[in-house]
Amino acid sequence: MTEGTEEVTLQLLNMLITAKELSELLDGEIIGDPMVRVHSPSKIEEGTEGTISFLANPKYEPYVYSTKASILLVDRAFSPSQSVDSTLIKVDDVYASIGNLLNKFGEGSTEEYQHSSLAFIDGSTEIHEETSIAAFVSIAKNVTIGKGTKIYSHVGIEKGASIGVNCVIYSGVKIYANSVIGDNCIIHSGAVIGSDGFGYSRSKDGKYTKINHVGNVILEDNVEIGANTVVDRGTMGSTVIRKGVKLDNLIQVAHNVEIGEDTVIAAQTGIAGSTKIGQRVVMGGQVGIAGHRKIANDVQIQGQSGVISNVREEGKRLNGYPAIEYTEYLRAYALMRTLPDMKKRIEELERLLKEKSEQ
């Protein structure tokens, strides 16, 4: 869930739940009517009676005093500066509480698993009976799919690929041969897993010959891949996305890249071949990383930065192109903004010196 988004994503539609019941689920503290009921979510600025919303970004606090939402989830340390009509439920972590509620409401739900008659499934596959496969899905030879996995329409899965338990593969995803998808992974529409890397040999006459890529892609458990993101397979060996990695939309991950556990990368980032990225790295949007580089654990890279050398120091913060230490970048940028004025002053000094020399 993106920081600052004030929309509750709970699936409460068509049901009623009291503030008391919610508080018990979340180990929260109620301020207001414990028996007030809600049936659906709302944005805090558009809240109406019978809805639940939340406050997690301080800039939205003014809406706390004007919203008509019946229940608001707020941080346990939150102290209103004026009267509030909504019932408040104070929790330790608002975003975590939203996730907890999603999980709670999903528990015990009955679900019918089915395989559409309009899907093509090769007879050599091993697919658990408790899976959902929609129309126009194509599953080739020797594919394995685990229990609880959902595959939406127009997904293509090539021979030898394996998909773990409780995965969600959205419409239009393409999974190339021999790709390995772990448990609890989510792959959004249009993503391509295992396509050829961008590898060619150049002859003396300037012509390019394609280098065949015979490796694969491995996504470990709890990985999420955004829409239209591409992860290329290894030239030889594997491109590896470790446990807990979250990739946004429109990201390019080249051949033989390795991304460490719990790393998060925002949209439009490009990572060139054979780069190794550490654990818990955070990258903003439109970051570019040159090939065959190493990025240490816990590094933070600001959006639109370009990394052209190794980053060996853990926890380093980088910005700019070429990327440098964040505070250095801020100092350099502050200086850069003064350059037009400095130019004028230098020109004025040159003029005065010239006049003096002429005298």
The string of pLDDT tens digits covering residues 266-316 is: 999 999 999 999 999 999 999 999 999 999 999 999 999 999 999 999 999
Q: Which two tokens stand for residue 256?
A: 């033989």
Residue 108 has pLDDT above 50, yes or no: no
Q: In sequence order, which residues have a C-beta less than 8 Å from that of residue 195 and are 6 or more positions away? A: 174, 176, 230, 231, 232, 233
* Per-residue confidence band for 82, with pLDDT thresholds at 50, 70 and 90: very high
Distance CA 122, CA 114 (A): 16
pLDDT above 70: residue 346: yes
Summarize the confidence of residues 50-54 as an average pLDDT.
89
C-alpha span between 214 and 230 (Å, rounded): 17
Query: How does residue 351 score in pLDDT terms, banded at 50, 70 and 90?
Result: confident
* Mean pLDDT, all residues of the chain: 90
Phi, psi of 330 (to 5 degrees): -65, -40
pLDDT of 7 strictly over 50 = no
pLDDT score, position 105: 57
Q: What is the pLDDT of residue 111?
A: 60
**pLDDT value at 6 more than 60:** no
Mean pLDDT of 157-168: 97
Residue 112's pLDDT is 74
* Candidates 2.160.10.10, 1.10.10.10, 3.40.50.720, 2.60.40.420; CATH matching 173-322: 2.160.10.10
Please provide the size of the chain in residues: 359
Q: How confident is the model at residue 104 (pLDDT cuts 50, 70, 90)?
A: low
Flag whether pLDDT at 5 surpasses 70.
no
- Indicate whether 102 pLDDT > 80: no
For residue 287, the model assigns a pLDDT of 97
Please identify every residue annotated as catalytic: 255
Q: Mean pLDDT: which of 33-42, 51-60, 215-224 is highest? A: 215-224
Is pLDDT of 147 > 50? Answer: yes
Q: How far apart are CA 106 and CA 114, in angstroms?
A: 19
What is the C-alpha separation between 344 and 63, in angstroms, rounded? 48
Residue 40: count of CB within 10 angstroms of its CB: 16
Q: What's the pLDDT at 106? A: 54
- Among the four given CATH numbers 3.40.1390.10, 3.50.50.60, 3.40.640.10, 1.20.1250.20, the one describing domain 17-106: 3.40.1390.10
pLDDT of the residue at 97: 85
Nearest to 59 by CA among 77, 69, 45: 45
- If phi > 0 it is left, if psi is from -120 to 50 it is alpha, else beta; for residue 298 that is left
Listed range (193-202, 253-262, 336-345) with the worst mean pLDDT: 336-345
* Secondary structure element (H or E) that encloses residue 106, with its range: helix 94-106
Q: Does the pTM of the predicted model rise above 0.85?
A: no
- The answer to whether the beta carbons of residues 90 and 28 sit under 8 Å apart is yes
